Structure 1
């Protein structure tokens, strides 16, 4: 699909969904007036992140005093089935990410309630749900519809049916989904951000999510090298964060 065709299909998709009009307006502003701001401080933050980054294994050991080696063994069958489903999926979305970090954050907090933004195939959702299901906890997820491709039916595709009773999926932009989620549950054990990559989008969501994280809860943000939003947020709130380097990208994580 050409770029023009993709943009046109996305625009038509928005027009068919009045409930998404607020996000359409925000995207127009973001891609015109605020476009340069989306990458604000990128070089600064990549240098900052590189200087302090550790492996996923080191981060889990340091923060949670847990070892990650058993995860792949304990859930080998589930992960293999999910990998096969991803390979067979006709629509391509994001890859697995740091699954152990998500899983052990939930284990460390004995999580009952987790919120995530961004789902795609549902790899991070799967990692959270494998832990939450032990305690009959709930994962609340926010994910925009995939308007440029016929991929809506594949959101969360790798999550087994057996785990879905513990999952509530909200198909709106974060500014619409998160208030709905917070109205249902106000305090969370783990927060995982992986949606709007823009500086302004991140800063808004970080502040909202942080308010609803319990003391002792875990905050995780993917792709923090896209701009300086995560670094600026941590410095503004005097947060000492750990940075995980994973497959050439940086993940921020801290305990409140």
Structure 2
């Protein structure tokens, strides 16, 4: 645990965390999540902890993961707040491996970290498709040089990927209507309170029974907490990551 605390402090100092201060409460919250995430994820998904651990090991031994590390020029994966943290993109892989979704929708792609982990899980499952919406070059997600949306995604995973460019406000309602129903919705676009609530509310009526709403950066505001307060569903918070397991019926 002291090493985890060291890594998180180092990450805050290096990345400035978008101006968010590292308080003692935040440090304790993160260390608590780091200590218990496998057990809490297993409980949420109603599977043994051993399976959760096995699926995390799948990531480390995969060729697609090594390709992403190479593209980013990263030699080691640390337990910090980067997308390599087990509490972020790898958690999506584990979730999708267990949930076996047919239709997953994602808002916010940027380099394609999260997309890669979702697509890798779908490929391993041999089923499912990811539908992504991205508005390129938003603050904090500017692609440099010749990089394009999703440039990190390994080529062999893109056969299960559909990308729509534009804002989620404009594109999400139509996509959800076209798909009819979805199994997983993942928010990682504009993290304003208003946009997060808009996306959660848009996705909920299309979510299958037992489906999941997942959100990154839930510590930016109270949108995830307020939305959870409207639902009587199981949910877990993994510091910056939130996961809701939806059960019908829900009436607004």
TM-score if structure 2 supplies the norm length?
0.71
Query: Any gaps of 5 or more consecutive residues in structure 1?
Result: 1-42, 89-93
CA spacing shift, 1:177–1:86, aligned 2, 3 Å: farther
Count of equivalent residues: 203
**Counterpart for residue 5 of structure 1:** none
Q: Which residue of 2 aligns with 1:171?
A: 165
Structure 1: how far apart are the matches of 2:37 and 2:175? 29
Matches within 5 A, 1:1-256: 55-64=36-45, 65-66=47-48, 67-75=51-59, 76=61, 77-87=63-73, 95-96=83-84, 98-133=88-123, 134-146=125-137, 149=142, 151=144, 153-245=147-239, 250-256=240-246
Deviates more, 1:147-156 or 1:96-105: 147-156
Q: 8 Å contact 1:56–1:100 — kept in the other structure?
A: no
Whether contact under 8 Å (1:219, 1:254) holds in the other structure is yes
* Residues 220, 167 of structure 1: alpha-carbon distance in 2 compared, 3 angstrom cutoff: same
- Deviations 1:99-148 (Å, cap 9, x if unpaired)? 33211221222211100111122121111111212333110011112167
Go from structure 1 to structure 2 and tell me whether the alpha carbon gap of 1:70 and 1:234 turns closer, same or farther (over 3 Å shift). same
Give the aligned partner of residue 36 of structure 1: none
Shift of 1:71: 3.6
Gaps in structure 2 of 5+ consecutive residues: 1-22, 75-81, 247-252
| Counterpart for residue 27 of structure 1 | none
Contact 2:200 2:213 in 1 (8 A): no
Q: How far apart, in 2, do the equivalents of 1:113 and 1:103 lie?
A: 14
CA distance in 1, matches of 2:222, 2:233: 14
Question: What is the distance in 2 between the residues matched to 1:103 and 1:231?
Answer: 23
Residues 199 and 227, structure 1, Cα contact 8 Å, conserved in 2: yes
Deviation at 1:198, TM superposition (A): 0.7
Normalising by structure 1, what TM-score?
0.70
| Structure 2 Cα separation of the partners of residues 198 and 223 of structure 1 | 10
Change (3 A) 1:59 1:157: farther
Q: CA RMSD in A?
A: 2.9
Task: Indicate if the aligned counterparts of 1:106 and 1:189 stay in contact, CA closer than 8 A.
Answer: no
- Native 8 Å contact 2:103 2:131 kept in 1: yes
Greater relative contact order (Cα 8 A, min sep 6): structure 1 or 2? 1
Matches of 2:54 and 2:153, distance apart in 1 = 20
Contact map agreement 2:110 2:143 (CA 8 A) in 1:
no
